[in-house]
Chains A and B, each alone.
Chain A
Amino acid sequence: MNPRVLYHIARADFFERVRRYSFLVTLAFTLFAAFEVNRGNIVVNLGQYRGVYNSAWLGMLLSLTATFLITVVGFYVIKNTVERDRHTGVGQILAGTPIGRTSYLAGKALSNLAVVAVIAGILLAAAFAMQLWRRESAGIDAWQLVAPFLLLTLPALAFLSALAVLFECVPGLRGGFGNILFFFLWVAFLGAGIQTHAGWLDLLGVGFIEGSVKQSAQQLPGYNGGFSFQIGPHSEKTFETFVWNGFHWTGGVVLQRAFWFVAAMALILVAAAFFDRFDPSRGVFRRLAAGFRGRAARAGDEEEEPATAAGAEPGAATLAAAAAHLTPLAAEAARAWPGAIVAAELRLMLKGRSKWWLLVALGLLIGSFAAPAGEARGRMLAFAWLWPVLIWSAMGTREERNTTGPLIFSSPRALERQLPAVWLAGVAVALGTGAGAGVRAAIAGDWVHLGGWVAGAAFIPALALALGVWSGTSKLFEGLYTALWYVGPAQPTPALDFMGASPHLSARIPASYLLATIVLLAVAAAGRRRQIRR
């Protein structure tokens, strides 16, 4: 592995990413997170106590914020480095160079790390600025500020960077399924680390932080042993403070954190085994199959096939260079039935879905109809509307991803006809897959849940369309929708239940999501207008 090659792969990729406008959005989000910490909306507290904002506490608080946010949101930001080379065609050029799979992927992981490290660096700077701003503790201790970022955040980011590369290389995880799977893996991983306090499971280092902070708080009057990291407004108006002097970094702790760097390197090696080097015929499964076929052929089990003109294009041999002629199109031909474009979009959405996909969708539909209790029915609906997430996530992004924009946007009334047709096709998918719950609500005369169901069918594709049109990528919807689904209908949390899955639903909730649908459609239309006339 040549360090110079590694450096240049990482450097070029890093510059390509940070010079995009989307990176400015990421930075703005980071600054917003820092602002929220300063406002007290992101806190670490021990019951009614929090630490004095000295270097140790702010270093810990901002590093935990960085690790938490970057490991979940950052994955979706950085998981596109190999895909970009695939999409731009640069991968084809790189594939023709002597660079090895591991070197290439290690360079890409380094670039990932550099991008998320910049985000973490901003939060480190924010920790420094907050200490100066808050003036709760005068002495700035650079090591106390920086150490949590170096020893807690950086190893987690290194692991995440390599994991993102692995997801890009493994067939099946490369696309939307991987984006959704990551969220559930992340939730499970986070939970396991916190529950077990095992260093090799605790990527975020929450167990270590909790242990260290709680130890200092044992003697505080009225302290009941609680520890929490909260994002969002909290019930405590003011906290009592205590002085925390920072972590005690033992050799064991440092080794535990170093484990994540080793794990990152292992992930790159695994990714290299899966990486197809921009040739789908060279993926690991095909290589294994080819190896097997090779052995079988050597054993004399396979006969050599006669040479064929497989490379010839259909019709090429019979092609006559005669004068071509085209029949004029009648004027009435331009009057298409308005539903035709919705049907065309729906067909495009469903094209390529396997029978298994349809069978599972059908099973969920029947389940959401047949489930006897309202709670179980809601749960079935929630799953029925998680299943088509990859269909919805392609909405609004398809034209950019497949470079069909110039063909579609130069068609008559692309904004007024094609965009609503995409949304209506998305609504049709929702109505179709969730029909069971809707029909049951209608039969029972449960108008609130029927309203919730209608609002969900309208809201989900509107959200997908708006996010897709503006971000140009399906990842944003896949990540955000999965998170919304998890905290809303899956729990269920009535206020965040956009599909009427909760047994106790107020009529205001569907109404508010219907209103949100209108806003999202307006946002999508504004984005599409911008795309059509650049």
Chain B
Amino acid sequence: MKLEIQGVSKQYDGKVWALRNFSLELGPGALGLLGPNGAGKSTLMRILATIANPTEGAVRWNGVDIAERPDELRSVLGYLPQDFGVYPNLNAEEFLEYLAAVKGIEAGAARRRIEELLELVNLTDARKRPLGGFSGGMRQRVGIAQALLNDPKLLIVDEPTAGLDPEERVRFRNLLSELSGERIVILSTHIVSDVEAMATSIAIVSRGRLVTHAAPEALLAQMEGNVWEWVVGSEQLPAARQRFLISTVTRRSDGVHARVVSDAAPGPGAQSVAPTLEDAYLHAVAAERRGGQA
């Protein structure tokens, strides 16, 4: 099972490049896509989900170009888009039955699967309620269920935990972690803690380019010795923000505790602390921006 993204670029309206020469090779496991707004994550997801064509480059699923033979991938694809709708007059069960028919799943198997999925996403009690009356979080759970209808080998989920309450988020994280063992899961999100919990590898994207692709441990190892806790006075904070990349700030009685991402100690008294994935992400994006401006 292999997904190869080879030099993929995407241009909109002949003007804006949403992706530039993006290459990546993936096997079973969960890939967390991290990047700022407009970085090209959703564009990449749409290309991988076969509903957008790359302007340049190719995507191969087990060696087959998905632009030429999209159905090779579609039959094993589960896709949860960032923005999707539902048919308001159908209930959750009917909507899933409809999509199961569209995906070509045999009726008996579809019924059993839907039963299991409704339980999984905790919608068994609401299965007969029209979707038009669902909250955002409930609709998102229907979206998660439809993505899993055909037992996908490639699962693409764009901002999957948006609108979910903390308990549902934990449940979904567990589910994705379990699923990623035997399939490829690609997860795009702004929530670093989601990636931390689920991803076996992380790709950081900025301005349409792949900045880095590594295991979370490797990213953290790269950041060792580059994150500092520095206590400064309130009046010094604006100047410190100008000079350094500060990820968090905590005010205490002895001053402002700033978490600084920097190759060298930002000042006297700064203590080296253990890096987090958020530090690694901010560092990578800032470095890419500096490189782009240079």
Determine whether the beta carbon of A402 is less than 8 Å from that of B85. yes
Whole-angstrom distance from the CB of B3 to the nearest CB of chain A? 15
- Bound Cα distance A418, B100 (Å): 12
Known: A334-B106, A410-B51. A315 touches B125 (CB 8 A): yes
Determine whether the beta carbon of A351 is less than 8 Å from that of B110. no
Across the interface, B171 reaches (CB within 8 A) one of A324, A330, A340, A404, namely: A324
Determine whether the beta carbon of A413 is less than 8 Å from that of B94. no
- Consensus secondary structure, chain A interface: loop
Size class of A's contact patch? 35 or more
- How many B residues have CB within 8 A of the partner chain? 63
Determine whether the beta carbon of A413 is less than 8 Å from that of B109. no
Across the interface, B104 reaches (CB within 8 A) one of A314, A328, A410, A417, namely: A417
- Bound Cα distance A407, B105 (Å): 15
- Bound Cα distance A405, B85 (Å): 8
Determine whether the beta carbon of A340 is less than 8 Å from that of B107. yes
Q: Which residue of chain A lies nearest to B168 when distances are taken between CB atoms in the complex?
A: A319
Whole-angstrom distance from the CB of A238 to the nearest CB of chain B? 49
Which B residues between 150 and 198 are near A, CB-CB below 8 angstroms? 150-151, 165, 167-168, 170-172, 174-175, 178-179
Interface check B228, CB cutoff 8 A: no
> Quick one: which of B104, B116, B150 has the most chain A CB within 10 A?
B104
Interface check A359, CB cutoff 8 A: no
Q: B residues within 8 A CB of A404?
A: 84-87
Determine whether the beta carbon of B150 is less than 8 Å from that of A329. yes
Determine whether the beta carbon of B101 is less than 8 Å from that of A406. no
Q: A residues within 8 A CB of B84?
A: 403-404, 406-407
Interface check B103, CB cutoff 8 A: yes
Q: A residues within 8 A CB of B151?
A: 326, 328-329, 333
Determine whether the beta carbon of B51 is less than 8 Å from that of A398. no
Known: A314-B126, A333-B110, A334-B150. A410 touches B50 (CB 8 A): yes
Which candidate, A120-128, A341-349, A467-475, is the interface stretch facing chain B?
A: A341-349
Interface check B138, CB cutoff 8 A: yes
Determine whether the beta carbon of A402 is less than 8 Å from that of B97. no
Determine whether the beta carbon of B89 is less than 8 Å from that of A412. no
Q: Which residue of chain B lies nearest to A353 when distances are taken between CB atoms in the complex?
A: B89
Across the interface, A326 reaches (CB within 8 A) one of B81, B129, B148, namely: B148
Determine whether the beta carbon of A403 is less than 8 Å from that of B51. no
Interface check A133, CB cutoff 8 A: no
Determine whether the beta carbon of B178 is less than 8 Å from that of A323. yes
Which B residues between 32 and 67 are near A, CB-CB below 8 angstroms? 46, 49-53, 67
- Bound Cα distance A336, B129 (Å): 27
Interface check A332, CB cutoff 8 A: yes
Interface check B113, CB cutoff 8 A: yes
Whole-angstrom distance from the CB of A366 to the nearest CB of chain B? 27
Interface check B74, CB cutoff 8 A: yes
Which B residues between 3 and 41 are near A, CB-CB below 8 angstroms? none
Contact mask B116-144 → A, CB, 8 Å, 1/0? 11001011111001000001011000000
Determine whether the beta carbon of A410 is less than 8 Å from that of B49. yes
- Bound Cα distance A110, B200 (Å): 56
Interface check B201, CB cutoff 8 A: no
Q: B residues within 8 A CB of A334?
A: 75, 104-106, 150
Whole-angstrom distance from the CB of A177 to the nearest CB of chain B? 16
Q: B residues within 8 A CB of A329?
A: 105, 109, 113, 150-151
Across the interface, A402 reaches (CB within 8 A) one of B87, B137, B170, namely: B87
- Bound Cα distance A159, B10 (Å): 46
Across the interface, A336 reaches (CB within 8 A) one of B83, B90, B105, B165, namely: B105
Q: Which residue of chain A lies nearest to B79 when distances are taken between CB atoms in the complex?
A: A410
Across the interface, A313 reaches (CB within 8 A) one of B85, B90, B99, B138, namely: B138
Determine whether the beta carbon of A314 is less than 8 Å from that of B109. no
Q: Which residue of chain A lies nearest to B67 when distances are taken between CB atoms in the complex?
A: A533
Interface check B217, CB cutoff 8 A: no
Whole-angstrom distance from the CB of A342 to the nearest CB of chain B? 9
Q: B residues within 8 A CB of A410?
A: 49-51, 74, 77, 79
Whole-angstrom distance from the CB of A110 to the nearest CB of chain B? 30
Whole-angstrom distance from the CB of A472 to the nearest CB of chain B? 14
Across the interface, B101 reaches (CB within 8 A) one of A328, A333, A343, A402, namely: A343
Known: A321-B170, A326-B148, A329-B109. A352 touches B89 (CB 8 A): yes
Interface check A409, CB cutoff 8 A: yes
Interface check B98, CB cutoff 8 A: yes
- Bound Cα distance A289, B89 (Å): 24
- Bound Cα distance A128, B40 (Å): 50
Determine whether the beta carbon of B51 is less than 8 Å from that of A533. yes
Whole-angstrom distance from the CB of B244 to the nearest CB of chain A? 37
Interface check A373, CB cutoff 8 A: no
Determine whether the beta carbon of A406 is less than 8 Å from that of B120. no
- Bound Cα distance A533, B67 (Å): 9
Q: Which residue of chain A lies nearest to B129 when distances are taken between CB atoms in the complex?
A: A314
Interface check B226, CB cutoff 8 A: no
Q: A residues within 8 A CB of B148?
A: 326
Q: B residues within 8 A CB of A418?
A: 102
Interface check A4, CB cutoff 8 A: no
Q: B residues within 8 A CB of A315?
A: 122-126
- Bound Cα distance A407, B143 (Å): 9
Across the interface, B178 reaches (CB within 8 A) one of A325, A332, A398, namely: A325
Interface check A484, CB cutoff 8 A: no
Determine whether the beta carbon of B167 is less than 8 Å from that of A534. no
Q: A residues within 8 A CB of B98?
A: 344, 347-348
Q: B residues within 8 A CB of A2?
A: none
Determine whether the beta carbon of A348 is less than 8 Å from that of B90. yes
> Quick one: which of A327, A407, A412, A413 has the most chain B CB within 10 A?
A407
Q: A residues within 8 A CB of B97?
A: 344
Q: Which residue of chain A lies nearest to B176 when distances are taken between CB atoms in the complex?
A: A324
- Bound Cα distance A313, B80 (Å): 21
Interface check B146, CB cutoff 8 A: yes
Determine whether the beta carbon of B52 is less than 8 Å from that of A351. no
Q: A residues within 8 A CB of B100?
A: 336
Interface check A322, CB cutoff 8 A: yes
Determine whether the beta carbon of B175 is less than 8 Å from that of A324. yes
Q: B residues within 8 A CB of A325?
A: 178
Interface check A316, CB cutoff 8 A: yes
Interface check B71, CB cutoff 8 A: yes
- Bound Cα distance A412, B150 (Å): 11
Q: Which residue of chain B lies nearest to A406 when distances are taken between CB atoms in the complex?
A: B81
- Bound Cα distance A315, B141 (Å): 12
Determine whether the beta carbon of A316 is less than 8 Å from that of B165. yes
Whole-angstrom distance from the CB of A333 to the nearest CB of chain B? 3
Determine whether the beta carbon of A533 is less than 8 Å from that of B81. no
> Quick one: which of B125, B137, B151, B165 has the most chain A CB within 10 A?
B151
Interface check A532, CB cutoff 8 A: yes
Q: A residues within 8 A CB of B170?
A: 321
Q: A residues within 8 A CB of B269?
A: none
Whole-angstrom distance from the CB of B51 to the nearest CB of chain A? 5
18 sampled A-B residue pairs with Cβ under 8 A:
A316-B165, A324-B120, A326-B116, A326-B175, A326-B179, A329-B150, A334-B106, A336-B105, A341-B101, A398-B87, A402-B85, A406-B49, A406-B51, A406-B79, A410-B50, A413-B74, A533-B53, A534-B53
> 8 closest A-B pairs (Cβ-Cβ)?
A403-B85, A333-B109, A329-B151, A344-B101, A352-B89, A324-B175, A314-B125, A406-B81
Residue numbers of B with Cβ under 8 A of A are: 46, 49-53, 67, 70-71, 74-75, 77, 79, 81, 83-90, 94, 97-107, 109-110, 113, 116-117, 120, 122-126, 129, 135, 137-138, 146, 148, 150-151, 165, 167-168, 170-172, 174-175, 178-179
Residue numbers of A with Cβ under 8 A of B are: 313-316, 319-330, 332-337, 340-341, 343-344, 347-348, 351-352, 398, 402-414, 417-418, 532-534
